[in-house]
Amino acid sequence: MFTGIIETTGEVISFTPGTGAARLTIAAPEIAGRLRTGDSVAVSGVCLTALGIEANAVPPRFSADLAAETIARTTLSRLEPGSVVNLELPTPAGAPLGGHVVQGHVDGVGTLVGLERVSDAPDSDWVLRVRVPGSMARYVVEKGSIAVEGISLTIAGVGGGAEGDEIWIAILPHTYSATNLHALKPGMGVNLEVDVLAKYAESRERAEAEKQELTVEYLLANGY
């Protein structure tokens, strides 16, 4: 499990398609020395398995294989050498939960609409606007949590844009500089993971609705 509190950023060295899984190699000086083969690591919000770790290389690096599902559902196959990615290691048991529960299971790819400064002050905050796929819209609520590129963020507003499919998020200066947000441009895809608690709530509501339908009154009313 992750919390969406980005530990550091890395830089893509290569993306190599294969006949089976593709391989992504990332320069990660801050964490490569702490990884062991098989460890989980979140790369821009995608939970991957660390392989081919070269802690003594220049720069230190690790690789990860991408399954077809990962390639289809995330932006990782679109990354080019030099692309900046967010990196987070799993949260140890008993550690404070600083953001929200992030699984590293990306639900879909949104589109970065804009990232604009609120003022001209050097320490100005920013406003991030993202277009959300329609399949995810029911999980997006004002003041709810969402992971964008693996970053735990709070939705400040819902329903912007010509089709009402945008959300906007307030970004603090630290978040802007310490993550890959500063390297993104309008039109680029961003990995999105909705709050898993919203999914559980929907699942429970559906189960309760189905249970209520199978009452004696329901059965009698329908000729059973």
Active-site positions?
2, 40, 47, 49, 67, 105, 154
Give the DSSP letter of residue 76.
G
Distances, alpha carbon 145 to alpha carbons 33, 173, 216, in Å: 31, 19, 40
DSSP string, 111-163: EEEEEEESSSSTT--EEEEEEPPGGGGGG--TT-EEEETTEEEEEEEEEESTT
Which residue, among 3, 8, 6, has the nearest Cα to 94 in the 3D structure?
3
- Helix (H) or strand (E) holding 166, with range, is strand 166-171
Q: Assign residue 4 a region: left if phi > 0, alpha if psi is -120 to 50, beta otherwise?
A: left
Contact yes or no for 103/2 (Cβ under 8 A): yes
Which residue, among 72, 74, 54, 75, has the nearest Cα to 63 in the 3D structure?
54
In whole angstroms, give the CA distance from residue 68 to residue 79: 15
